[in-house]
Structure 1
Amino acid sequence: MKAISSRDNPLVKRLHALATSGRERRKLGETLLDGPHLLQAALECSYPLKGLVVSASGVDKAEIAALLHEVGSDVPCHVLPDSLFAHVSPVDTPSGLLAIIDLPAAKSLGTIVENVVVLDGVQDPGNLGTILRTAAAAGVRHVLLADGCAGAWSPRVLRAGMGAHFVLDVHERVDAATWLRGFGGPVLATALSADARSLYELDLRAPVAWVFGGEGRGVSSEVMACATRHVLIPMPGAIESLNVGAAVAVCLFEQARQRSLR
């Protein structure tokens, strides 16, 4: 392991750029994994690592030491003083361990005959990461992000996703309306419209495209026009709406419940 102590070091500047700027992440084609859990998830899926960075205090933590040993000497590793590590950390509470990875290459978006989640304008990194984690847990493999969503591979979304990125097919900057018009199955969008049917009245055993909108404006009118059914989540309490992450969880696991009974 090589020690670095200066903010002027090129690697430190690169790390800080990756931690703070989506433009720099796209320019460099890289991003950061924060924490032992994400690194372990990447290793389990054999995702290639470009470098490791550990804080001076993190070196002595058993969990981090075990991961460094597992990675071995083939991946460059640098040690930073705790204060400098905090400077390059993408989160407010530094974990003591960062990994540099390449952003995945964009994949062509062909025909999908399985369940798919389409997100329109989900801007909050925590919500987006939570939705990706929920989709993976519910057995949904495909997630499409329209323009206006947070960057799927930003460090904060990665941290909230807790490793879901490595088992999902995530497509960004998708023309959602055009793609949905070519989808062969039902397109379900959560809405409070008069024609919306209760989630629990629907037969969800066949593959569908789930459409969820952003935290403020919801689903755009262009994307909503592609929905073949508006879905209402019954809420007997005194609250009119759910956080988008909670709404996704309710819908996907109701579908998972129905499919488990088949």
Structure 2
Amino acid sequence: MHVITSRDNAHYKELKQLATSAQARRKAGQSILDGVHLCKTWLQELGMPLLCVVGESALQNAEVRDVVQQCEQSDVRIINVPDALYAPLSQVENGIDLLFLVKTPAPTMPSQLALSAVLLDQVQDPGNLGSIMRSAAAAGVKQIFCASGTTQAWSPKVLRAGMGAHFVLDIFENVDLHALITSARIDVVATSSHTEQSLYDLDLSHPVAWLFGHEGQGVDPALLAAASHRIAIPHLGSMESLNVAASAAVCFFEQVRQLTQR
């Protein structure tokens, strides 16, 4: 375990740059996992990180000690910093001071849509994106395709909202959704408030790609026109529409209901 006590340390400065700059993370092809849950889930699903960073007081925590021990046994570099130096590396308030630096997964882009998937057109809110990923993973969806303008999938806020879902999904960013939709081998289903077809009347016993759009503007009209189906989610209350993450969860688990009933 390497101890760093100075803010002027070159390794600390580099780590702080990665922790605070999305551009730096994209350039390096690396991501920051902040907190015990994300770190433990990464170990379980994908193996060892590039680097483990732990705050001084966090070493008193049994879960942290277990994670650190696993890293030590695999010769992962471990950096121990005072709590005051850990704070600028984290966006979590009152969390446990443990983070991993990992190589951002880069799966091979499929030539066509053939498996159940999620297509996201300029979803802006990190919490919404992470929640959609978490629901998708729970429903057995394997692929997420994000158009340009969608919030960065591997940002710390999206990672926290995803609760580890990232590690069991293939995530693709800056995707041309129109080209993907027009070449798809499966139905593409878009949510829209301007249609009478109900989600519950659709046969979802086969793979589909779900298309969701911007929180305020919805799905781009050209993408909406290219979709195989445009569906609405029936509701009884006076609210005009559902939050995009809630809409996604309803759609995913209607498909789960149909698949499990069959």
| Residue type at the aligned position of 1:247 | S
Deviation, structure 1 residue 185: 2.2
More displaced, 169-178 or 87-96?
A: 87-96
**Structure 2, unaligned runs of 5 or more:** none
Per-residue CA deviation, residues 215-253 of structure 1 (Å, 9 max, x unaligned), is 122111221121121111111012111111111000000
Q: Which residue of 2 aligns with 1:79?
A: 80
Q: Which residue of 2 aligns with 1:40?
A: 40
Deviation, structure 1 residue 257: 0.3
Where 1:145 maps in the other structure, the secondary structure is: strand
Distance (Å, rounded) in 2 between the aligned partners of 1:229 and 1:46:
36
Deviation, structure 1 residue 196: 3.3
Q: Which residue of 2 aligns with 1:63?
A: 63
Where 1:11 maps in the other structure, the secondary structure is: helix
TM-score, normalised to structure 1, is: 0.95
Distance (Å, rounded) in 1 between the aligned partners of 2:170 and 2:58:
32
Q: Which residue of 1 aligns with 2:193?
A: 192
| Residue type at the aligned position of 1:197 | Q
Distance (Å, rounded) in 2 between the aligned partners of 1:79 and 1:36:
15
Q: Which residue of 1 aligns with 2:180?
A: 179
**Equivalent residue pairs, number:** 261
Q: Which residue of 1 aligns with 2:235?
A: 235
Per-residue CA deviation, residues 122-172 of structure 1 (Å, 9 max, x unaligned), is 121111111111110000001111111111111221121111111111111
Per-residue CA deviation, residues 165-214 of structure 1 (Å, 9 max, x unaligned), is 11111111100011101112221111011x33111111111111110012
Where 1:197 maps in the other structure, the secondary structure is: coil
Q: Which residue of 2 aligns with 1:144?
A: 145
Q: Which residue of 1 aligns with 2:257?
A: 257
Q: Which residue of 1 aligns with 2:226?
A: 226
Q: Detail structure 1 runs of 4+ shifted over 6 Å in the superposition.
A: none
Distance (Å, rounded) in 2 between the aligned partners of 1:4 and 1:147:
38
- Are 1:4 and 2:4 matched, yes or no? yes
**Structure 1, unaligned runs of 5 or more:** none
Contact 2:107-2:170 at 8 Å conserved across structures: no
Q: Which residue of 2 aligns with 1:54?
A: 54
Q: Which residue of 1 aligns with 2:204?
A: 204
